Amino acid sequence: MAQREKADRHVPVMRDRCIKLLTLGVQNIRADGHRPVVIDATLGMGGHAEAMLEADREVSVLGLDRDPQAHELAAARLAPYGDRFRGIHTVYDRVDEVAVEELQSDQRVAGVLLDLGVSSLQLDEASRGFAYSYDAPLDMRMDASADSPDESVAELLAHIEAPELSRILREYGEERFAGRIAKAIVTRRETTPFTTTADLAAVVDRSVPAASKRTGGHPAKRTFQALRIAVNEELEVLSRTIPHAMDAVAPGGRIVAMSYHSLEDRIVKQAFARRTKSSAPAGLPVELEEHKPTFTSLTRGAELPDETEIAENPRAASAKLRAVEKLMDPRRTQA
Ligand SMILES: C[S@@+](CC[C@H](N)C(=O)[O-])C[C@H]1O[C@@H](n2cnc3c(N)ncnc32)[C@H](O)[C@@H]1O
């Protein structure tokens, strides 16, 4: 199936819930006399962006993505919305700068959407090297353009020391056999450098004891996830991004974040908690203005997709959605 066709058919994760949450942010901004702009910080194939543009005929959407291929597909899909949509090729930690650069004086950021991780486009495009199930050059950069500052997995594996590699596999992949795999990789590269996904998958497969291969999917799954997170610096970038998104959004505006593994979810949860809870030191008799929370949580813990959605789209199974709204007193907040 052509990529364009796939993009059009792809149903975004927890789409209706995301759009409902963002729409109330849009209404808050409008009630305040400003023109609302929603920033889709993870544009991907443009599925959530399209649903937002459809849900409110006057909202504008700025779509950020570090992947040039995502922009090509999303631009074609969202062309019918004319200048209500604009794509910006950037890493999402610049979300606050983009808002300053792009918004007109009567516009405010009504929402920021973060649908984290890799897109089905990236996973399905064998040549990008994200999947252990296809043989392809060992790349995994979300931005693999000629001027990308990022290093490919093949480049990383050519020089990384075994202890650092082991740490990456353990922390980002929760890999039990991190030490063994790291050692096997470093030993193997002394004779032949790694260039393909199949090559790496085979070395990982040989380093994992047979008894533990019976559960937990393909033995290379966790190694591939860990290396992808490392070369794209996903966790460092995300840690910077949530506070920037919280700065960018206007009072009454909302942030909706969906994560797909516990490391991402922890970063989102902690960053949201820092501004939804009072920062007053324990025992202070009166809460000072500067210690008061500036956001309120719209979700109790994390929301999960329902079983019907998971049955139709297995990728949704690990999604966890959290949302917050910037406070604007006096206001009643609806979830
Ligand atoms: C799960 S997909 C988004 C799918 C999208 N919501 C849709 O409906 O098609 C995540 C996207 O975020 C992008 N992305 C991941 N990390 C990024 C970062 N640090 N900066 C900008 N884009 C990023 C990926 O390139 C990918 O296209």
String of DSSP letters for 82-134: GGGEEEEES-GGGHHHHHHHH--TTEEEEEEEEE-S--HHHHH-GGG---TTS
* Spacing, Cα 40 to ligand 1 middle (Å): 9
Residues 137, 154 contacting (CB under 8 angstroms): yes
User: Which domains can be identified in the chain, with CATH numbers?
Assistant: 3-121+234-326 (3.40.50.150), 151-231 (1.10.150.170)
**Is any atom of ligand 1 closer than 6 Å to the C-beta of 241?**
no
What predicted TM-score, i.e. pTM, was given to this entire model? 0.92
Cα 319 from Cα 260, distance rounded (Å): 5
pLDDT recorded at residue 328:
78
Cα 220 from Cα 166, distance rounded (Å): 14
Region 250-276: mean pLDDT is 97
Nearest CA to ligand 1 atom 5: 44
* Spacing, Cα 259 to ligand 1 middle (Å): 11
Q: Which of 17, 94, 119, 123 to mutate to test the pocket of ligand 1 (most atoms within 8 A of CB)?
A: 119
* Spacing, Cα 34 to ligand 1 middle (Å): 28
pLDDT tens digits along 47-56: 999 999 999 9
Nearest CA to 301 out of 317, 321, 318 is that of 321
* Spacing, Cα 195 to ligand 1 middle (Å): 25
Q: pLDDT band at 4, cuts 50/70/90?
A: low
Q: Which of 65, 120, 242, 259 to mutate to test the pocket of ligand 1 (most atoms within 8 A of CB)?
A: 65
Residues 105, 29 contacting (CB under 8 angstroms): no
Cα 327 from Cα 331, distance rounded (Å): 8
**Is any atom of ligand 1 closer than 6 Å to the C-beta of 48?**
yes
**Is any atom of ligand 1 closer than 6 Å to the C-beta of 119?**
yes
pLDDT tens digits along 304-320: 999 999 999 988 999 99
* Spacing, Cα 44 to ligand 1 middle (Å): 5
Region 167-184: mean pLDDT is 96
Nearest CA to ligand 1 atom 25: 67
Q: Is 181 exposed, middle or buried (0-12, 13-18, 19+ CB in 10 A)?
A: buried
pLDDT recorded at residue 251:
97
